[in-house]
Amino acid sequence: MRLSILFLAAGTLLAQTPETVERSFPFSPAGTPRAIQEMVNAIRGTSGIREMQVTADIDTRTLKIQAPPAEAGLAEWVFHLLEDPNSSGEHQYTMPGRWADARVFFLVTSATPRQIQELVNAVRSIAEVQLLTAFTPRPALVFRGEPWAVNTAAWLIHQLDTPPAAQPESAYTISGSYPVDRSPRMAAAVRVFYLSPSATPEVMQNLMARARREAQVQRIVYMSDAHAIAVRGSDSQAAATEHIFAEGHP
């Protein structure tokens, strides 16, 4: 069985096609058809390029790619990390001459489909990382973006995948090449509030509704298993949200 995917990212193609290279990588014997499909998705989903061909041959258990050299290097890095059963922790890859960094995060406590999806939603909403794919066989998150967004995502994953013990909240300020002055939506204050495991979904939803209404925060997500709510806004919005959660914390 041959699975072929041609990925054309949004945008106008340049008249001059960049030089491409072809590479092939063998899958381990333990890899299932689903794992092979998810590998294709992970490489395709984080490529961020205008044209890339990914072919997975399940019969020969081989992944083949055709891409510009820099993107081929990224694909090889992602493939070997996800294929290695001993891989763990956080891994970073900086592509030469590119604006984006890539990360692979092997998760510690987020293992169920719901936990992984909630984490994906949080990273996309709070850190604005869109080139993001979950690899469930390990499980891991593979993502790529501007350095400020990738760094924010990394901090957020640490807070939500392995929440600190006995801590009511965690704070982070986005920095680096973050264009704070370009748009009001580019708010730099990030907070994660940890609630008691006894807090009901109704309590969580109440706090989120108050934060949206009174603090006027737009980027707010709920992690049910972590009993946490992540928020991003301006400094004044973060302060107002802290006050709301201090009043309503069970």
- The answer to whether residue 160 sits within a structural domain is no
Which has the minimum average pLDDT: 48-57, 129-138, 176-185? 176-185
- The pair of structure tokens assigned to 192 is 């994660």
Name the residue range of residue 27's domain. 1-86
Strand bridging mode 101-106 / 140-145? antiparallel
The number of distinct structural domains making up the chain is 1
Residue 25 has pLDDT above 90, yes or no: yes
pLDDT tens for 83-119 read 999 999 999 998 776 667 899 999 999 889 999 999 9
Residue 10 has pLDDT above 50, yes or no: no
- The answer to whether residue 8 sits within a structural domain is yes
Residue whose structure tokens are 């058809």: 33
- The answer to whether residue 134 sits within a structural domain is no
Asked if 65 and 89 count as a contact pair (C-beta separation under 8 A), the reply is: no
pLDDT score of 179: 52
pLDDT score of 29: 86
- The answer to whether residue 67 sits within a structural domain is yes
Residue 183 has pLDDT above 90, yes or no: no
- The answer to whether residue 39 sits within a structural domain is yes
The CATH number for 42's domain is: 3.30.1370
What is the pTM (predicted TM-score) of this model?
0.83
Residue 2 has pLDDT above 80, yes or no: no
pLDDT score of 46: 84
- The answer to whether residue 114 sits within a structural domain is no
- The answer to whether residue 60 sits within a structural domain is yes
Residue 182 has pLDDT above 50, yes or no: no
- The answer to whether residue 136 sits within a structural domain is no
Asked if 47 and 75 count as a contact pair (C-beta separation under 8 A), the reply is: yes
